[in-house]
Each structure stands twice: as structure tokens, then as C-alpha cells.
Structure 1
């Protein structure tokens, strides 16, 4: 299948084809003794993921574990569907996200407020997963991949209060979710993901520092793909956060409303990203979908309002 890439170490990147786009959302299959899927993609992507796993020899009763870095719909929207397709799989998530996978009604209601009519096209609906099949992680946890290989979970809020990073003991791969931002492999651009309501600058920077301290060999971005230049990439992640926060602070202190703040920040950050040059319109569209300036600036504004003395 043309949406599967072997990354070595029995790790396979699966393009989940969110809303029909390619190169936006990745799921990863660790094909060990106890096969594990990291990130499901959206609900509408679930059949794509199921077929990819089947082509790699993982049938309905073969998948041992499904792990999500956090419960946003582009990462975990397919959990209920994948759990139904693979009835033997345990579903692993941070404890702050577990109840939303069992009962997605509140999560879907808030997503509807944010995305409106786009919700169905982009994400579909998160189906509930039986509570008995969900394992809630604390600040650290371990997923057994078989043969002594493990996936260790490390709590990394900042992007979202239910976010974890995951490191593979065999490969040194670190699944960064959205905590290190959104990476576009076509252009090498990296941009922060700071949506409301959970964004917090210090927490986000602490998460990036934790990732560096784990000593990963490679970063596997949910958006999108593997990066081997670990230190420089994590330094860039932190720098991007500071740039967006500094600019949004300026707009905030000048009393700008959200629309004007977004326009100002978008204009002042434009030259940082090759994807926003005129010859890469599809890349620009991907950035706006995954790390849109309105969402990023709104998240930082929300944090600034909360942080006021």
C-alpha cells in the first residue's frame, strides 16, 4: 500500500489520510511480538488504518495495544472504531483523557463549537470505547511490546493536559504527539501547536526539555513523520513557542482583539516558514489545518488572560 513507510526497527508509518489529505496525520505500527498502534487518526481514517494493518499481517485479533499521545480528534478520533475492528486490543491513554474515550459526548460538543460544520468532514465522530478496555496512565507508564521491548510513557502537558510522549526502548524513537509542534517534511518547517484551552508556556517548554532529557535517537511526529536531528529540532520547537508567545503578548498588551492579533502574528511569522511561500500552496493549507494561526493565537491569548495577576 502506498500509504505505508517502513522506518526500520519494525516500525511502520501509516498515512491515515485525514479528510483525504496525504502527509497530514501519521499513525505508527510497532510490529513486535505484541503489535502496538500509536495514534489512530480520525474516525473517518479508521478504515484506512485497519486496511494498512491488515496489509502488514495484523488481523482483527492480532493487535495488542492502541496508544494515543492525547485525545484530540486528529490523534484519537478513531479509537472507538479501531477498538471495534481489533477486539483484543487494550486502549492506553493518560488518565486525564480516559473518561472522554469512554464517553466522548463532552469532547464532541466542544469540538463542534470549535469546528462547526467542518467537524464531520475533517474528523467524523469519536465512538465510545468500553471502559473495561481502557488503561489510564499516570505521569509515567509502560506498554509491553513483547520480548522485553517497551514503550514508556512520559506526561508532557502544555499542548494539552492529557498529553504524553512515548519512547521505544528498542529504537530510541520518541513519539512526540503535538508537544514539539507540527513538522512539515516537504519544507522542513516546524510550527508550534498552542490551541486553547490548555496551552501554558512554561509547561510546554518543560515538556520539550523532558523530551531532550530522554535522549531519543529519533522524533516521530504525528504531523508528520520521522526526524533524526533531535537536538536542533527540539531547540527549534522551544524557539517557535517563544516567538509566537512574544508576538501574541505584544498584540494582547496593545488591546487587539483576536482577529487583529491573528493578522499581526501571521504577518510577522510568515517569513519563518517556507511552506507559506507562494509556490507551496498545499503545504500552507496543511499548516493552517494543523497549526492554524487563529487556533495558536487564541490558545496563547487564553493563557495570557488566565495568567493575569
Structure 2
């Protein structure tokens, strides 16, 4: 996606709206499915909702036309804007994993968890986080389908690993899968260095590497024509996604095991992973102000929190 574009057509009756999450282009997208019953996949945080409204108008729709709001999981960078969005969509229902439904109806725990991670930046990044009326929430069972138009059926699959409340969605029209964070993150800004980079997202506190690999197996067995990431955009190179995620998962975990208990363990782990990634992809030192550096370091900080949480829980259970 051209970073100057706020909305872009990706496939037949499929658009991506750049929510400018973290005030960075190419970070978090909302997918817009047209050509029948209008649906969106991912809302992004609440500050992204005005951008979605504007981008819908650019392609000839009103926000009031939305019939289904679908979120892959309930982390606030993917679903934090759901409560705000649904207020402006009188006919919309929200579809989420059964384990996520109650937290969107009462987002107090989501807010508390995000504040623990993002601290003083929470208000700027996520406010307001509003409840979704329970009567407008639908839970997606594993394998359940939803017909949006002739030739377009969505199938929902439970894909834990990043979070227990995670779903991925297969679109019959494009033969693509919306993977949220289960298949990792695509760093579109790395393309400026001629690098195609996919990394796992291991944020706290439900990261499970074995489940993530099993979910990846499930997705690759479907042989989709494309993956549509929550962060960010489309790739048709499923083999490269699978290869890189499978390489990095054990590296992330082993490095966390080696870092646990060290002084400033969180920063030590983040720094080690950053060094490993730059070395593996043969990247030059990244300059300050580079969006790729900013996002990578932020993600690795959050990933390090989830990795240390996983390692310590594992040690306690042994």
C-alpha cells in the first residue's frame, strides 16, 4: 500500500482504510467488504473511527450503511473503537469470539490491561473506549459462516496463540484470510530497505507459542490466496510468512528464557531481540525518526512483556 493513500482497493470488493494508529501510516487497517451487505473487519482504536468515516465516504458509502462490525480479537488496537463506531451504525451488529463478547460489553478490564502496557500514552492512543450494547453482539462459533452476498461467504475460525479470544476469517470471494495478529505482523515500512519482514506478535497475557503454531498450520492448510494482516495490509507470499514466523517463535522464547531474571530483564530482552532482527535481515542501523524503527521497538517492548509472562508462568508450572 502506498503510504500516502488513506484508503486503497486490495481485491474484488475489498478495501483497506488506514486508521493512522499511533499516528503512523501503515500500522493498523480496517478492511471494508463491499459488493453486498457492507461489513468491516477490525475497527482500530477510537481515534481511527473518524478516518474510517471519511474513507467510507470516499468510496461512496456512509458509516450508517455498515451491517456487520467484525473484530479478530478484543485488544484495543483492533477493537477499541467498536463501541464508538456502533453508535453511528444503527443497523450494525458486532461479531467477536465468544470469549471476547463480555469484555466488549464491559471494557473495564481491557482498559486496565492497556493502561498497564501503554501507561501515560493510553488516553492519546485509545480514548474513548465505550461499551458495545450486549444485544448487538454476536459470538462466532468455530466454523460458523456468514453470507454477505452471492459469492461472498465469511467463515470464522478460532485461532488462539496470540490471544485465547482470537478468530481468523476466510473470505470466499477473494480466498483470503484475515488473520489479525495470529500470523504475526507485516512491516510495510521495511520495504524501503528492500526487506520483507514478518514477526510474531507475542503480547501479554495469553501468548501460547504451541497454539500459535497450530493456528498457523490451520491457516496454511487452507491454502489461501492472500493474508490480510491487522498490522498491516496484504501479502500473497504465504510461504514466506509461515517460514519467518516459524523461525522467530523459538528464537523469541529462547531469548526470553535467557533474559528472565536479569537486571532490567524487559529492556534486556527487547534490546536482544532488536539486535537479532537487525542482524538476521542484514539491516543497517536504523535512524531515529524512522517509522519502521519506532514500530519495531514499540512492538518488541510489548512482545517482551508477553514473552516474559509466558516464560515465568511456564517455570511456575514445572
TM normalised by structure 1 equals 0.93
SS at match of 1:96: coil
Partner of 1:301: 308
**Following TM superposition, by how much is the alpha carbon of 1:149 offset from its aligned partner in structure 2, in angstroms?**
1.6
Q: What are structure 2's unaligned runs of at least 5 residues?
A: 191-195
Measure the CA separation in 1 of the matches of 2:159 and 2:133: 26
Aligned counterpart for 1:216 among listed residues 212, 224, 232 = 224
Cα deviation digits, residues 121-147 of structure 1 (max 9, x gap)? 122232111111100112332222122
Measure the CA separation in 2 of the matches of 1:139 and 1:276: 43
The change in CA–CA distance for 1:296 and 1:213 in structure 2 (over 3 A counts) is same
- Give the total of aligned pairs: 307
Aligned counterpart for 1:281 among listed residues 276, 290, 296 = 290
Partner of 1:27: 30
Measure the CA separation in 2 of the matches of 1:131 and 1:77: 16
The change in CA–CA distance for 1:239 and 1:128 in structure 2 (over 3 A counts) is same
Partner of 1:129: 132
Cα RMSD between the aligned structures? 2.0
SS at match of 1:269: helix
Q: Does 1:202 align with 2:205?
A: no
**Following TM superposition, by how much is the alpha carbon of 1:183 offset from its aligned partner in structure 2, in angstroms?**
0.8
Partner of 1:138: 141
Aligned counterpart for 1:241 among listed residues 249, 252, 258 = 249
Cα deviation digits, residues 37-58 of structure 1 (max 9, x gap)? 0111110111111121122222
Measure the CA separation in 2 of the matches of 1:121 and 1:60: 23
Instruction: Decide whether the 8 Å contact of 2:69 with 2:95 is kept in 1.
Output: yes
Q: Does 1:57 align with 2:66?
A: no
Partner of 1:105: 108
**Following TM superposition, by how much is the alpha carbon of 1:275 offset from its aligned partner in structure 2, in angstroms?**
6.7
Instruction: Decide whether the 8 Å contact of 2:174 with 2:225 is kept in 1.
Output: yes
TM normalised by structure 2 equals 0.90
Measure the CA separation in 2 of the matches of 1:75 and 1:189: 21
Structure 1 residue runs of 4 or more that deviate by more than 4 Å after TM superposition: 253-256, 273-276
- Range that drifts further, 260-269 or 81-90: 260-269
**Following TM superposition, by how much is the alpha carbon of 1:148 offset from its aligned partner in structure 2, in angstroms?**
4.3
**Following TM superposition, by how much is the alpha carbon of 1:192 offset from its aligned partner in structure 2, in angstroms?**
1.5
Q: What are structure 1's unaligned runs of at least 5 residues?
A: none
Partner of 1:46: 49
